[in-house]
Structure 1
Amino acid sequence: MILADKIIEERKKNGWSQEELASKLGVSRQAVSKWESSGSIPDLQRILQMSELFGVTTDYLLKDEIEEEPLNEYVETKTIKVSMEEANQYLDMKSRGSRIVANATSLCILSPVPLIVLGTMTEDHALVAFSLVFLLILVAIAVYLFVNYGIRDASMQHLEKEIFETEYDVSGMVRERRNQYESAYIRNIAIGVVLCILSVIPTIMTGVMEADDSISGISVGILLVIVSIGVNILIRAGMIKSSYDTLLQEGEYTKEEKHWKKKTDAFSGAYWCLIVALYLGWSFWTNNWKFTWIIWPVAGGLYAAVLGMVKMTIDGREK
Structure 2
Amino acid sequence: MSNFKTNLQYLRAQRNMTQEQLAMLLGVSRQAISKWESEKAYPEMDKLLMICDFFGVTLDDLVIGDVAQPHRNVSRTQGHGDEPEDTGAAPLADSERPPLSMFHQDPAPLPQDITGYEAHMRDFDAKIPSGIFAIIFGIGAGMFFDSDNSILGVSPLNDFLMFLCIVLGVIVGLVFLVPAGLGHSAFMRNHPYVEDFYTEHDRAEARRTLTIALIGGIGLILIGLAEVIFADEYLRVDDGWPNSVFLMLVACGVAAIVYGGMHYGRLNLAEYNKTAEQEYREAKGLNDSYDMVNGAICGTIMMIATIVGLTMLFFFNGGPKGMFWMSWVIGGLLCGISSVIIEAVKASHGKHDDDIIV
**TM-score, normalised relative to structure 2:** 0.55
- Equivalent residue for 2:101? none
In the alignment, which of 324, 328, 338 is matched to residue 292 of structure 1?
Answer: 324
Shift in Å at residue 207 of structure 1?
2.5
Paired residue for 1:12? Answer: none
1:198 to partner: Cα distance: 3.0
Give the drift of 1:317. Answer: 5.9
| Cα displacement string for residues 112-169 of structure 1 (whole angstroms, at most 9, x for unaligned residues) | 2343221222331224213312321221121122222223323312389x5x362xxx
Note the C-alpha offset of 1:308.
Answer: 1.6
Report the CA distance shift for 1:190/1:268 in structure 2 as closer, same or farther (over 3 A).
farther
2:140 to 107, 110, 113: 113
Q: Could you tell me which of 263, 272, 292 is aligned with 2:302?
A: 272
- 1:56-82 superposed Cα distances (whole Å, 9 cap, x missing partner): xxxxxxxxxxxxxxxx847648xxx99
After TM superposition, list the pairs within 5 Å mapping 1:170-209 onto structure 2: 171-209=196-234
Instruction: Give, as a single letter, the amino acid of the residue that structure 2 aligns with 1:189.
Output: L
Describe how 1:1-319 pairs up with structure 2 within 5 A. 73=31, 76=34, 83=54, 84-87=112-115, 89-119=116-146, 120-121=149-150, 122-158=153-189, 162=192, 164=193, 166=195, 171-209=196-234, 211-212=236-237, 216-245=239-268, 247=269, 249-250=270-271, 253=272, 255=274, 263=291, 264-288=294-318, 290-315=322-347
For 2:306 and 2:201, locate their aligned partners in 1 and report how far apart those are by CA, in whole Å. Answer: 39
State the 1:300 CA deviation: 4.4
Q: Which amino acid aligns with 1:277?
A: I
Given the superposition, is the C-alpha separation of residues 123 and 259 from structure 1 closer, same or farther in structure 2, using an over 3 Å criterion? same
How far apart, CA to CA, are the structure 1 residues paired with 2:229 and 2:185? 43
Q: In the superposition, relative to structure 1, how do residues 150 and 294 fare at CA in structure 2: closer, same or farther (>3 Å)?
A: closer
Question: CA separation in 2, counterparts of 1:277 and 1:94?
Answer: 33
Local SS of the residue matching 1:157: helix
What is the alpha-carbon distance in structure 2 between the residues aligned to residue 219 and residue 130 of structure 1?
A: 17
How many Å separate the matches in 2 of 1:237 and 1:159? 26
Deviates more, 1:263-272 or 1:219-228: 263-272
Greater displacement, 299-308 / 102-111: 299-308
Number of residues of Structure 1 aligned to a counterpart in Structure 2: 235
CA distance in 2, matches of 1:317, 1:293: 37
Q: Per the alignment, in what secondary structure is the counterpart of residue 344 of structure 2?
A: helix
Which residue is equivalent to 2:68? none
CA contact (8 A) 2:298 2:338 kept: no
d(CA) in 2 for partners of 1:297, 1:204: 21
Alpha-carbon offset, residue 233 of structure 1: 0.6
Structure 2 distance, partners of 1:292, 1:158, is 37
- SS of corresponding position for 1:292: coil
Give, in angstroms, the shift of residue 103 of structure 1: 1.4
Shift of 1:256: 9.4
- Cα contact 1:174–1:244 (8 A) shared by 2: no
The DSSP-based 3-state class of the residue aligned with 2:236 is coil
From the superposition, tell whether residues 268 and 176 of structure 1 become closer, same or farther in structure 2 (CA, over 3 Å): farther
Q: Distance in 2 between matches of 1:156 and 1:192?
A: 29
Q: 1:243, 1:267 → 2: CA distance? A: 27
The alpha carbon displacement at 1:239 in A equals 1.6
Closer, same or farther: CA 204–148 of 1 in aligned 2, 3 Å: same
**Cα distance in 1 for residues equivalent to 2:201 and 2:297:** 35
How far apart, in 2, do the equivalents of 1:128 and 1:266 lie? 35
On the 8 A contact 2:136/2:247 being kept in 1, the answer is yes
RMSD of the alignment, in Å?
A: 3.6
| Distance of 2:219 and 2:237 partners within structure 1 | 28
Compared CA separation, residues 194 and 73, structure 1 to 2 (3 A): same
Check conservation: 1:95, 1:239, Cα contact below 8 A.
Answer: no
CA contact (8 A) 1:102 1:236 kept: yes
Please state which structure has a larger fraction of its residues in helix. 1
TM-score by length of 1: 0.61
Instruction: Check conservation: 1:175, 1:244, Cα contact below 8 A.
Output: no
Deviations 1:28-48 (A, max 9, x none): xxxxxxxxxxxxxxxxxxxxx
Choose between structure 1 and 2 for higher RCO, CA contacts under 8 A separated by at least 6 residues: 1
